[in-house]
Chains A and B, each alone.
Chain A
Amino acid sequence: MSTAEIDRQWTTRLRKRATGHLPPEKLLPDTQPAYVSSWIYVFGVTTLAALMMVILSGIILAIRGPQWWHSSAIGHFVNSTHLWSVEIFFFAMIVHLWGKFFMAAWRGGRSLTWVTGVVTFLASVGTAFTGYVSQTNFDSQWISTQAKDGINATGAGSIFNVLNLGQMLMWHIVLLPLAAVLLTAIHVLMVRVKGVVPPFEENGATK
């Protein structure tokens, strides 16, 4: 097989394209621009760490089933870790989002990074909501019967029935987490490809 023939292979072309856009030193950098030194940058990695905790506690809950935590002290504790990791996740993500807004982090060809971040936020809101209506307790009864009106009024209730526990649980543990994790991965890779947005230029000078 000739080199030209190998170079035409889909696999070779994909690898070259991927490593061209994201060489190892960009994927796992060991230096960064000096301006990346504010406390605000902590919230991006905090969001990722909290997401890992959400997934880990969710996996443990999934192993024993949706009602285990009502009858087991350990289950209730795992549910508590799930709840608090979700709270930290949203707190960190919202501070991260505001931080990126005030940095105008979409500059320099980073608008798709912003877009994937916002879509991830919206998908996360949906994931959390379906979790709240899948708790199989008083909260899920009340939240689902209240939320149905908002969703039904848009017509979405015709296919997205918040009173259907089985459907909501599937959205909560399969469809929406898959979307949220995939979007997060794309978002993080985009940050690595483009790097962290530089500060605004002031007085016509670029540092």
Chain B
Amino acid sequence: MSTKPFRPDVDAPEYKGKYVPYDIIKEGTIAIIVVGLLVVLLATLFGSPDERAITVKAWSNADPIDFATTALGELNGSTVTAKYGAPYNTAAPGQNLGPLRLAQFAGVTIPVNTVRDFVINPLSSLPYDKALSAALSEWKGASTSQQKSWVSNYTASASKMTWSNNQINVPATNAGPVPELINKLTSMARSGALDQALVTGGGFYTTNYTKPLLFVADGTYLANLAQKQHLLGSQWGMMNETGSYPGQAWLWLYTFWYQVPPFNTSTNADVQVSALMGLLSILLLLLPFIPGLRSIPRKVRVYRLIWREHYSD
């Protein structure tokens, strides 16, 4: 009869040594009390961050030019959301992992049309205004090529955009209803009405902030505030939070990859980093079954420190 050979990284020796008293209930109770006191102490000493959420109203009042430029970007298709691809639209094929375009394969499941959802529909929800109503009618009645031509003419002069007398001024010609649309959307935003229109587009009750968050993120206002709080991606932002708090420190490895080549210059960094972290997670999960990796603890001998009393006996 053959005996299975002992594999030191898989099998454990039979323990024939002594046993000592162990009060598991007492240990658990002490742990709960100590951790509870530590939590209360840390909460009392340091509290927790709670920077107020920004609103479209706050953004458009603080920086009407940035808001109007973003609104124009939603019309001419130059914002991040307008060019995103799946799951919001088909404007781009999305990132690829080798031959795989995973987002495109999953499809458009959260449809966002930046012209319709961020500009035309919110303006259409406003109370009757003769000039706005005429501008909307003109826009809706025009062909797609005519709309593009108006937007293109307005965009060509947008670098000279100014804010005076509570309105956006752009010296554009042949821009059709676009100046009126941009101006009225800016006024709407500054009143706070656009915040509501973006979230209540789906009805009275909602818990979905996809559209206002995408719109706000398309501007530079949110990113500028985040930069002051050291939250940008280049500042290891994903794992941080406002103030001097530890944040999600356990995401350090995920965030780390974004800081180093080739990921920090890759146009497919998001999917590449996600794939790499997925692979590393699988390796961690299956460590006991991977020859070589499972031998590391035995070879580095840190266990002698952990069990030093046992080995000194």
Q: Which residues of A contact B (CB under 8 A)?
A: 28-38, 40, 42, 45-46, 48-50, 52-53, 57, 69-70, 76-77, 79-85, 87-88, 90, 94, 99, 101-104, 106-111, 114-115, 118-119, 122, 125, 128-129, 132, 135-147, 149-159, 161, 163-167, 169, 197-202, 206-207
- Complex: how many Å from CA A154 to CA B103? 6
CB of B192 within 8 Å of the partner chain: no
Provide the residues of chain A in CB contact with B8, threshold 8 Å.
107, 200-201
Cβ-neighbour of A141 out of B12, B48, B53, B249 (below 8 A): B53
Which residue on A lies nearest to B284, using beta carbons? A118
- Measured CB to CB, the closest approach of chain B to A146, in angstroms, equals 6
Between A and B, 18 residue pairs with Cβ closer than 8 Å are A29-B22, A34-B18, A52-B35, A77-B44, A83-B48, A101-B297, A103-B307, A139-B241, A141-B53, A146-B233, A152-B94, A153-B274, A155-B86, A164-B208, A197-B12, A199-B310, A200-B298, A206-B16
Neighbour of B250 across the interface among A29, A31, A90, CB < 8 A: A90
In chain B, positions 78-126 with a C-beta closer than 8 Å to chain A are 84, 86-87, 94-95, 102-103, 105-107, 109-110
Q: How many cross-chain pairs have Cβ atoms below 8 Å apart between A and B?
A: 294
A140 partner residues in chain B, CB cutoff 8 A: 53
How far does the alpha carbon of A30 sit from the alpha carbon of B54 in the complex, in Å? 56
Given A88-B38, A155-B106, A161-B210, A45-B271 contact (CB < 8 Å): no
- A49-B35 in contact (CB<8A): yes
Cβ of A34: which chain B residues have Cβ within 8 Å of it?
Answer: 17-20, 309-310
Taking each of A45, A94, A110, which has the highest tally of chain B beta carbons within 10 Å of its own beta carbon?
A: A45
Contact (Cβ within 8 A) B12 A107: yes
A167 to B28, CA, bound (A): 35
A34 to B285, CA, bound (A): 29
Q: Tell me if A142 and B12 are in contact (CB < 8 A).
A: no
The 9 A-B residue pairs with the shortest CB-CB distance, nearest first, are A166-B207, A108-B12, A106-B288, A155-B106, A80-B43, A155-B102, A158-B106, A153-B270, A138-B51
B127 at the interface (CB under 8 A from A): no
Contact residues of B between 22 and 69, Cβ < 8 Å to A: 22-25, 27-28, 31-32, 34-36, 38-40, 42-44, 46-54
Q: Which of B35, B284, B306 contacts A50 (CB 8 A)?
A: B35
One of B164-172, B173-181, B211-219 contacting the partner: B211-219
Report chain A residues within 8 Å CB of B273: 150
CB neighbours (8 Å) of A198 from chain B are 12-15
- In the complex, B245 has a CB within 8 A of chain A: yes
Q: A110 contacts which chain B residues (CB < 8 A)?
A: 12, 288
Kindly list chain B residues whose C-beta atoms are within 8 Å of the C-beta of A114.
287-288
A114 to B10, CA, bound (A): 12
Q: How distant is the Cα of A139 from the Cα of B288 in the complex, in angstroms?
A: 38
Chain B residue contacts of A158, Cβ below 8 A: 86-87, 103, 106-107, 109-110
Cβ contact within 8 Å between B47 and A106: no
CB distance from A155 to the nearest CB of B (A): 4
The digit string for B208-232, where 1 denotes a CB below 8 A from any CB of A, is 1110011011000010011001010
Residues in B whose Cβ lies below 8 Å from that of A202: 311
Check B31–A137 contact: CB distance below 8 A: no
Q: How far is the CA of A111 from the CA of B248 in the complex (A)?
A: 28
Q: CB distance A106 to B209 under 8 Å?
A: no
Contact between chains at A157 and B47 (CB < 8 Å): no
Question: Do A80 and B241 touch (CB < 8 A)?
Answer: no
Q: Report B-chain residues with C-beta under 8 Å of the C-beta of A40.
A: 306
| Contact A111 B306, CB 8 Å, known A49-B34, A90-B249, A138-B54 | no
Kindly provide the distance from the CB of B30 to the nearest chain A CB, expressed in whole angstroms.
9
Given A35-B15, A37-B20, A103-B307, 14 other A-B residues pairs in contact with their CB atoms under 8 A = A30-B22, A31-B21, A34-B309, A46-B35, A53-B36, A80-B48, A87-B246, A99-B306, A108-B11, A135-B50, A138-B229, A158-B110, A161-B87, A199-B311
Closest Cβ of chain A: how far from B307's Cβ, in Å?
4
| A103/B303 in contact, CB under 8 A | yes
In the docked arrangement, what's the CA distance between A18 and B248, Å?
Answer: 39
Residue in A53, A69, A169 whose CB lies within 8 Å of B207: A169
